[in-house]
Structure 1
Amino acid sequence: MNRFLATFFILFTTVVLGQLKKSTEIKGQLNAYGSNLEGVFVINLKSEQTVFTNETGYFVIKASVGDTLVFSGLQFKRKEVVLCAEDFQKIILDVHLVTMVHQLDEVVVRNYNSINAASLGIIPSNQRKYTQAERKLKTATDLNPSASLSGMAGGSISADPLINLLSGRTAMLKKELEVEKKESYIAMLEKMFEKEHFINRLQLPLDYVKGFKYYVMDNQKFTKVLEMNNKTTIEFLLGELAEKYKAIIACENE
Structure 2
Amino acid sequence: MNGKIVSNANEVEGILVKNISNNQEVVTQRGGYFSIFGKTNDTLIFSAFNLKAEPHVITDKDFGENLVFITMQLINNQLKEVTIIDYKNINAEALGIVPKGQKTYTPAERKLKTAGEMSIGSVISVDPLLNWISGRTSMLKKELEVEKKELLQAKMTNNYEREYIVNTLKVPEEYVDGFLFYAAENERFAAAMKAKNYTMATFVLSELASQYRELQGFEVLNTVNKAPENSMNKQKE
Q: Which of the five TM-score ranges fits, normalised by the shorter chain?
A: 0.3 to 0.5
Structure of higher CA gyration radius: 2
Question: TM-score, length-normalised on structure 1?
Answer: 0.42
Question: TM-score, length-normalised on structure 2?
Answer: 0.45
Bigger RCO of structures 1 and 2 (CA < 8 A, at least 6 apart): 1
